[in-house]
Amino acid sequence: MELSGSQMVIEALRKENVSVVFGYPGGAIMNVYDEVYKQNYFKHILTRHEQAALHAADGYARATGEVGVAFVTSGPGFTNAVTGLATAYMDSIPMVVISGQVPISMIGTDAFQEIDAVGISRPCVKHNYLVKDVKDLPRILKEAFYIARSGRPGPVHVDIPKDVTAQIGHFAYPSEIKMQTYKPTYKGNPRQIKKAIEAIVAAKRPVLYIGGGAINSNASAEVREFAKICGIPAVETLMARGVMGDENPLLLGMLGMHGCYSANMAMSEADLMIAFGPRFDDRVTGKLSEFAKHAKIIHVDIDPSSIGKIVPIDYPIVGDLKNVVEAMIPLAKEHVDADKYKPWRDLLKRYNEIHPLKYEDSNEVLKPQWAIERVGQLLGDKAIICTDVGQHQMWAAQFYPFSYPRQWLSSGGLGTMGYGLPAAIGAKVAIPSKTVINFTGDGSILMNIQELMTAVENKVAVVNIILNNQFLGMVRQWQTFFYNKRYSSTDLSVQPDFVKLVESFGGRGFRVKTKDEFDKALKEAIESNTVCMIDVQVDRFENVLPMVPAGGTLYNMMLEYKE
């Protein structure tokens, strides 16, 4: 059928079963928005900033595993969106972002709101397109969704000039995609899988190192089964929280800069590391030459370029993690003796008993860790947890009891402040039956505070819990530890009245200073079923511990800090 370019965009989203789009209109994408107005295939949610539109699409994608979609316009509309693209790219989140562009004849003329969007997005997307002819648009849109969700997921950017959205062309949406230069490998090599099992059988101190790839491939059930069959202790990265479930006796906890003692020691003393979908981030490895230096390494990843990128790998397996672990399970049942690793498990259990995650609670001042634990006690698996970035993010990763994958949404790779609120909106839109909690800081929340209006307008009842220490807390902590307490530009004691602020947007606000006030506010916030903000006045100088100093070794953690 004959359609305009903007009509093709709408039809493509219908064929991809897109149910919600987040976005912000402008001059160059007005033709598309005119079709948005006419259609009834999907819901469009108008955010108040383009960055937030992408974070909301990102939160939607993380909560569901489906492709998140966002519209932005050209020039500043697109440059505002770049942080959202980079956030999704670093964490391998499937997204399709469609931007408007000035007409083709005006590209390169410094026209109003012209920017080289494709050039800017290139380093922070999985793939991008500038559409120059409407006849290419159906294929490009099909490819965009295919690339975003296949292989290692990631954001794909499609830049469409305004005159292309107005052109008429034949719309024939491809039923499938065949790309000569893009063919992800889904099945692991059987010979390599067999060698990996042989390495596990030969090991005395193996450890499972689980990364975000386990969530992206929906492999959590298989990973749990494999760990149980083999009796191998497991550690999770920040991005993998929820894969094993915190009640699992084999889980040692999160590893890395703010990881558990037993998790970091397991990596340091292991003779075999079985890496399921991590990317060996520097926040995990610490000093690279000392990272797991006694261990042979099995690395399973669907992205061949990530294998051997940071550390040498002894047993590389390229493939979708779910498929590979499914292939490993029968071999493990046949060959691996779980009892063999009991002394190793007992040693790590002892490490955890000696140095558990802990904090000094107080009845004089609220501790942020207590607030997070309390939410976990009251909501547990009923809540999806979003965070911004900083101390509150690490405390939430440490102290919230995660039960399942996609319960935890946080910007890991890029560490994007301002992510939490819009991502929480996306998650709540995706799964309205769940309570969605956004743990945030008094610094982070102000970076996209305008999205309270988006939440109120669309009746998206997210509960924002500000762990308010009147500091850029993590930077302040580093200044305490490493800069002789020179608190350069981290004091945020001059701040708005957050209760009045959320009320001005039409939500409900609470300020709490005691445990009783916190319980009462949380209960009312959840029962009110509206947009809420709980301003929790917490200990200003609480630190996140343990801590591996940047460039330090995992086996040499700071376990406490004394004045």
What is the rounded distance in angstroms from the CA atom of residue 482 to the CA atom of residue 478?
6
Which helix (H) or strand (E) segment is 387 a member of?
strand 383-387
In contact, 412 and 90? CB cutoff 8 Å: yes
What is the rounded distance in angstroms from the CA atom of residue 397 to the CA atom of residue 236?
10
178-to-149, 184, 217, 323 alpha-carbon distances in Å: 15, 11, 21, 22
Which helix (H) or strand (E) segment is 276 a member of?
strand 272-276
Which helix (H) or strand (E) segment is 38 a member of?
helix 30-38
Which of 13, 23, 91 lies closest to 411, judged by CA?
Answer: 91
Cα 416 versus chain centre, distance = 10
What is the rounded distance in angstroms from the CA atom of residue 78 to the CA atom of residue 125?
13
Strand intervals (E) in 394-483 = 408-409, 435-441, 463-468
What are the structure tokens assigned to 259, written together? 């990881």
Which of 145, 160, 89 lies closest to 121, judged by CA?
Answer: 89
Q: Count H helices, E strands: the chain?
A: 21, 20
Residues in Cβ contact with 280 at an 8 Å cutoff, skipping those fewer than 6 apart: 291, 309, 310, 311
Paired strand residues for 408? 385
What are the structure tokens assigned to 517, written together? 């006030």
Which helix (H) or strand (E) segment is 37 a member of?
helix 30-38
Handedness of CA 438, 47, 389, 466 (dihedral sign): negative
What are the residue numbers of the active site? Answer: 50, 112-113, 162, 474
363 burial class (0-12, 13-18, 19+ CB within 10 angstroms)?
exposed
Spell out a b/e string for 185-196, using b for 16 or more CB atoms within 10 Å of the CB, else e. Answer: eeebbeebbeeb
106 burial class (0-12, 13-18, 19+ CB within 10 angstroms)?
middle
Cα 312 versus chain centre, distance = 26
Residues in Cβ contact with 560 at an 8 Å cutoff, skipping those fewer than 6 apart: 545
445-to-25, 28, 289, 374, 418 alpha-carbon distances in Å: 24, 30, 37, 21, 6
What is the rounded distance in angstroms from the CA atom of residue 558 to the CA atom of residue 547?
5
